[in-house]
């Protein structure tokens, strides 16, 4: 599909009037977003999505969180990120496991202690996280990367990488060469 075809699709009228769409999106955002979360503009939440943070989470502009996805970590999610359905972005140290004589259910929770670097996730701009993936806190997913559906990300993923599996490993690059990547970055900078 070329640029003209994409523009034509983007301008096709919807069957749902714009004011109704805006109200529905606002209601979904209000239901989905909990405390300690700062949203950019044009952030969309799918049905049943839950987004909260124990300390602080910043979400950029033009981000889409798919239906029934859960984001419950500190950190940052860049602009133009697409999070598929049933994705979980969660902490790896949400409950203390070393408190002698304390049942895990009663152990110190991440929100009850000071924030640590391992509590945060850093997702760059223009990242696509495929459906049913799990992203653990303490990782960085580089700009322009793609995480394949059903992957479990336990360590950093470099910029413009394609990663799949459990645990996720890099299997390719999004663009054929540096020239394509640089052109993509130039175009994205104008959006």
Contact status, residue 81 vs residue 67, Cβ threshold 8 Å:
no
Q: In what order do the strands lie in the sheet with 37-39?
A: 37-39, 57-59, 74-77, 120-123, 140-141
Distance CA(170)–CA(158), nearest Å, equals 8
Q: Respond yes or no: is residue 95 known to be catalytic.
A: yes
Distance CA(46)–CA(25), nearest Å, equals 9
Question: Within the chain, where are the H helices?
Answer: 3-11, 18-32, 178-189
Q: Which tokens is 58 given?
A: 């910043």
β-bridge mates for residue 151, sequence order = none
Catalytic residue among 55, 68, 86, 95: 95
Q: What positions carry a catalytic annotation?
A: 95
């Amino acid at each position: 599909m070329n640029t003209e075809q994409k523009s034509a699709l983007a301008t096709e009228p919807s069957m749902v009037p714009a004011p109704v769409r805006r109200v529905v999106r606002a209601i979904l955002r209000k239901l989905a977003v909990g405390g300690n979360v700062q949203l950019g503009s044009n952030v969309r939440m799918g049905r049943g999505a839950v987004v909260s943070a124990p300390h602080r989470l910043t979400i950029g502009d033009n981000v889409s969180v798919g239906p029934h996805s859960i984001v419950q970590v500190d950190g940052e999610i860049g602009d133009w990120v697409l999070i598929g359905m049933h994705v979980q972005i969660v902490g790896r140290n949400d409950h203390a496991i070393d408190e002698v004589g304390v049942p895990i259910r009663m152990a110190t929770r991440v929100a009850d202690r000071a924030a640590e670097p391992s509590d945060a996730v850093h997702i760059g701009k223009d990242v696509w996280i495929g459906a049913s993936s799990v992203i653990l806190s303490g990782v960085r997913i580089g700009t322009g990367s793609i995480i394949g559906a059903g992957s479990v990300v336990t360590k950093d993923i470099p910029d413009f990488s394609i990663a799949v599996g459990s645990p996720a490993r890099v299997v390719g690059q999004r663009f054929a060469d540096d020239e394509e990547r640089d052109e993509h970055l130039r175009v994205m900078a104008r959006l």
